[in-house]
Structure 1
Amino acid sequence: MNRDEIRVMVTGVGGGGNGEQLVKALRLARTNYRIIGADITPLSKGLFLTDERVILPPATAPEYLDALMRVCREKRIDALFTGSEPELKRVAAVQDEIRAAGVFLPMNPQSVIETCMDKSKTMAFLAENGFSYPETVPVRGVEDLTRVRAFPVVLKPSIGGGGSANTFIAQSPDELRLFGEWMLRAYPEFIVQRYVGNAGCEYTVGVLCGMDGALINSIAVKKNILSALSCRMKIKSRFSDELLVISSGITQGAIGRYPDVTAQCEAIALALGARSAINIQLRFVDGKAVIFEINPRYSGTSSFRAIVGYNEPDVMIRKHLLGETIEPGFPYEEGVILRGLDEVFVPAKELSGLGE
């Protein structure tokens, strides 16, 4: 393709999540993008960071895919990125149809998405391939809780649970049963994982593979999870002088290559068969990356990766749509990323007509 302007649609741009992060990353690129933002509500901050705005039905709606394809045709979309997990799952099942319509869709295979969206399947994959992970017990009934032998542990949903929602720390069998019974009322299944490491050894790692499965690059953030914005929960440990900490979905910290950590994550991405971006959540303990979650999508840290020169959506478009040569392991800056809150004022007249 040789065109002055590349038309890119990003869905799920509201709520400060992955979609908005992708928009910000594309804005930082030197490539000339016209960004079409989509969300389910006009009251979406991310819509007002884009050049054109579209309202789509929820991903669970029967008409979602037809509406998405119609917008792709009418807006002459060159590349499509899904910015929410419900859309990722829905679009994953029709990747071939979307690409057949002439839209570049840099997304992992459905098999990778299905494995990583279910934490029980993720842990099984890690076990089968010899990678490190916390001792994990799937729970479908109260009787399964008796299989948990050591504490402290973390209870979390097997599917979903973004930003560590509905995640608990238990330090005794009584606490395990209390939280476990609550979880079973909310979910058909959840997992219990051994709490490993400490608050100072948690990382989020991005690994980017091309659509041919070849490794392009990786990057890591050593997370500061004790800051108020990045901490979901912290309690005093009964087993040591340390705090037991669960991070939120808002990552900040030191960003860089961290080769001892990223090399292990690159091996995981290649074993999975990744064909796009994946994000691995881990604690680095005794020289091993102990994996507790893999997200088969672009990251909630995409924009500040782009700030240091690691711009995943731009790299994928330039490599596969524009035919540019991308150097594997290309250089980027290292430093510290700090995050806060920002605001957008939208005049009433700009809201008029959206969602009608």
Structure 2
Amino acid sequence: MTSTAFLTGITGQDGSYLAELLLEKGYEVHGLIRRSSSFNTGRLDDVYEDPHDPDRRLFLHYGDLSDGVSLINLLRDINPDEIYNLGAQSHVRVSFDQPVFTGDVTGIAAMRLLEAVRAAGVGSRIYQASSSEMFGATPPPQDELTPFYPRSPYGVAKLYAYWATRNYREAYGVFAVNGILFNHESPRRGETFVTRKVTRAVARIKAGMQKELYLGNLDAVRDWGYAPEYVEAMWRMLQHPEPEDFVIATNTAYTVRDFVELAFEHAGLDWREHVRYDPRYERPTEVDALIGDATKAKTLLGWEPSVRTPELARIMVDADIQLLDDELAGRLVRID
């Protein structure tokens, strides 16, 4: 019998990789997408299926995490075996500019989805995308027992969603888990996130299309992993016999400066000739160091990462160089 999954945030980095993984495992996948005046499904191009194909297994539904009624109706219709809540306003710096919006779509929306599951009467297993930003100022290494101390509206909103998930698990017996994922990147990362901002600039600088890259705090320490490996961990959490929360991380530490140096070096460039400081990119309250201990995930889920930051930087730089080459070649073809 085919398993069915419902994904919010399916058009994002994690959602697109997770959709691919689930389709490869034979799932029927349903994704929630917001109505927009422009196409926002580019990350799903590789798994696109003809909507007229009777054998298709990928279905996209218009909706929004702010609309609890539509969520209830969708869940009743789909009756999914698994739900992955990846939808959010996920940019930490932007959350300072839009704190109330972030609190709604990142925090309260998780409660809205949990309540929709309960109201719809479906027996779905639920994955909540929690974040290492919940640890904030608590010194590393951080694991499942580390106290939380969020330092941004985003971290606060994620903490609300974390405790909502635990509450529904304990109050109603819902199979609901929190995946406390540390930073995870890929060529599909949004262009405003620091890693992708760096690798995209490297490609443009190497091509002579850009001279300088402006960044904020270069001393922040992060534990960076590879997104396709992290969505595998999400799936494993919902296959575990009991609902538990898990930290997913590489237990390695690199500064933003380290990532910048690795990325520029891979392209044969000296980062010091191109990177400039801009205080506008500083956060009002900074998170100095996030380094995760994923021992529990290794022990209970059999999950462990293989891609570390140096390889990740190379993967992303190569992908952005290729992407830029393809874009330039396409323009030349159109001009000719």
Which structure has more strand as a fraction of its residues? 1
TM-score by length of 1: 0.39
TM-score by length of 2: 0.41
